[in-house]
Structure 1
């Protein structure tokens, strides 16, 4: 009986993958073309990612030079992203903030350089500066109006990552090794950074804000990742990363160039199964993934003391828990194709994350949205997006906060009132203004900033500018 079930499962997977066309260059797309420099290694097509992002440059002479270097095995990308936002109400009308990132990426294809087949290295450094508008509203949670500010804030030069990938067995296996973020591979999508709000751009932020092991761009730790393609359009990947709770802090290293592991507290082990079907004669691409991760570090219990009683009531230190588990389920599906390429069309996307409630401040996060690239036929490179997200505080955290609140004690989580949940709604439109330049007006509505019911609703408008040299 088990053998029959296994055979039937493989048959179903094979049938789903039969919809997928053969891998073609035009269907390979590792990055969001509306986002800042952010080369993902999560599969978006039926192959591992190209060695360098296929971006559009605003300077033709530089573009020709880069393409010439690409043919020799050298990939260079330089880009600038700014995100400005202004609050319209909530007692902070007129408050505004500007933040930017300047990024430089260097990719080397060693098969073209010295004949080392299947080996590619990647490195990125960034400059980040500006003002975090969300902090003006007492917002210390995962929400933020300007996602580009996150991960260290103001820093002159920051090493994001440096790592290599090796393809084996006719590209059915890939090994990555180096100093790298978890989120370039796991629980990610090139659609997320269509949006300016921090709750989803990069990854659903409840993952990284509840586990130090889920290192996210621009932070990185030493790690390795193994990906295997058992069937066409189906992949399984797993990784092993160091856990650094002081990542992107002055206590560790704001610049990212510190290579030591002396502050690591454990290992983070994510595993993800992905399916990339493509339906019909228009190749309507979808991306579906399920993942689970374990962080071996010790974390403070959010409710119980060292004796298992409510710490807020006894006054004893909060106890320790060993290990933390997270899961995610994500999907997006192209419904209408507007042109060639994996991002060129109308997508619906949705997903959820779950973290361990007794030691994670954010328990659940759910989101849904649509992204449409090429909505207007005369403007095939414009992108329209709508997204909703809701994040729920851990019930253990909330219970502890209520005890402390009634005793007039300070609350964890930088809260001034017991937390509950946070909702965000965003509408955005990215205009392809000129080759290599996009201008993106944005609107956001936030319910319960910092997950607090006593906070007013917030409306904000924003503007993102992205330029590739």
Structure 2
């Protein structure tokens, strides 16, 4: 029988209470306000502050999940994130043209179904979980735009995915969420909410651009000190470069980006030891190799628009492909494809139905090391001999401005990349509140 483990019971019940309470509130307000936030315009105060250069953000995301199959048992868990932010338009505040400061903090809470139920998946089934149930400084950066936004410089405490290889987090499985390099090499490409010192220069307009950046690589940024801002354990610099094109084709919006990166840090080889012999046969310390790299492509395009005067409604498709280097990565390739249809019913123009398919691939060199270890000492390791495949579908109920409730279902084949592992089914509920 499904059960709530003690560590997650409160989090799961709170997620249901949050959904029910806010859902009832939203239903009462659905026709009462048209702002993008649940709390509206604060009687005009929010607009007045924005006109003076002050914008504030507050949001909460809760992801409840329970496995219907797979793992060591059936559990329900809840994980959530509170976000607080402020954007300062320095042109309005201090008369500095094109200047902006962003400050954002988060607090994560709850527990992880993958751990609780022993699912052993390569990708999280609650993407909002991770990097510690702590407060974190996510953004503290300055951006300066020049020449009518033809040139932009940004620097400070930043997250990689907010500028490079970006993708939405509408789905609940991590395979379909955020900057995908972080899904494969999260030990040095740190996505939200982990920030690091960084800088980015962009040339061109936001809809057609080239940009390049440089970001600190320091494992301590991902540890449980969310306000660490030091350099003591810095191992190198991650340098991403990206070209982007966001056209309107046949009246429909698209987004096309290609990103490459190189990390100057040294890293452990997954196959060879320090003497150049196979680790799986001879053991020893891994060979230290210089540099880590990869590329990522994100394509998204609206392909059908049923109502000409409502460009939001319609069918959009996406394709994400990420490849990392095979010397140092345990997972080296991820492909995701899917669609999202906004406004499936005339009376529900902002609801969304979606379906996605994804594959996360184990690096063949890493698998070979596991196979050799198992040959030398049978049963010592579980050989991850295949890829992990994920299907997720959801229906997003747009309750009102600022509130979306998103029941979803995930099915995971070969969890952990192990062909003999039982497939995993997960029922989820994602609630997104923008105050």
- Structure 1's 85 and 162: CA in aligned 2 closer, same or farther, altered over 3 A? same
RMSD across aligned positions (CA): 2.1
Aligned residue pairs total: 401
Aligned mates of 2:212, 2:140 — CA distance in 1 = 19
Aligned mates of 2:58, 2:158 — CA distance in 1 = 19
Residues 246-292 of structure 1: CA deviation (Å, up to 9, x unaligned): 33223xx2x2x121111110000000111112122xx2011111111
2:232 is matched with 262
TM-score relative to the length of structure 2: 0.87
1:1-400 superposed matches below 5 A:
56-60=36-40, 62=42, 64-90=44-70, 92=72, 94-139=74-119, 142-150=122-130, 152-155=131-134, 157-189=135-167, 192-204=168-180, 206-210=181-185, 212-229=187-204, 233-250=207-224, 253=225, 255=226, 257-280=227-250, 283-337=251-305, 338=307, 344-400=313-369
Q: Is there any run of 5+ residues in structure 1 with no aligned partner, and where?
A: 1-53
- Structure 1's 421 and 88: CA in aligned 2 closer, same or farther, altered over 3 A? same
- Structure 1's 303 and 78: CA in aligned 2 closer, same or farther, altered over 3 A? same
Does the CA contact (< 8 Å) of 2:385 and 2:417 recur in 1? yes
Where 1:162 maps in the other structure, the secondary structure is strand
Aligned mates of 2:255, 2:59 — CA distance in 1 = 27
TM-score relative to the length of structure 1: 0.81
Aligned mates of 2:42, 2:318 — CA distance in 1 = 36
Aligned mates of 1:133, 1:378 — CA distance in 2 = 35
Does the CA contact (< 8 Å) of 2:144 and 2:153 recur in 1? yes
- Structure 1's 104 and 343: CA in aligned 2 closer, same or farther, altered over 3 A? farther
Does the CA contact (< 8 Å) of 1:207 and 1:353 recur in 2? no
Does the CA contact (< 8 Å) of 1:211 and 1:360 recur in 2? no
391-400 or 82-91, which moves further after superposition?
Answer: 82-91
1:407 is matched with 376
Deviation at 1:71, TM superposition (A): 1.1
Q: Is there any run of 5+ residues in structure 2 with no aligned partner, and where?
A: 1-33
1:424 is matched with 390
Aligned mates of 1:120, 1:449 — CA distance in 2 = 44
- Structure 1's 162 and 55: CA in aligned 2 closer, same or farther, altered over 3 A? farther
- Structure 1's 325 and 441: CA in aligned 2 closer, same or farther, altered over 3 A? same
Does the CA contact (< 8 Å) of 1:351 and 1:368 recur in 2? yes
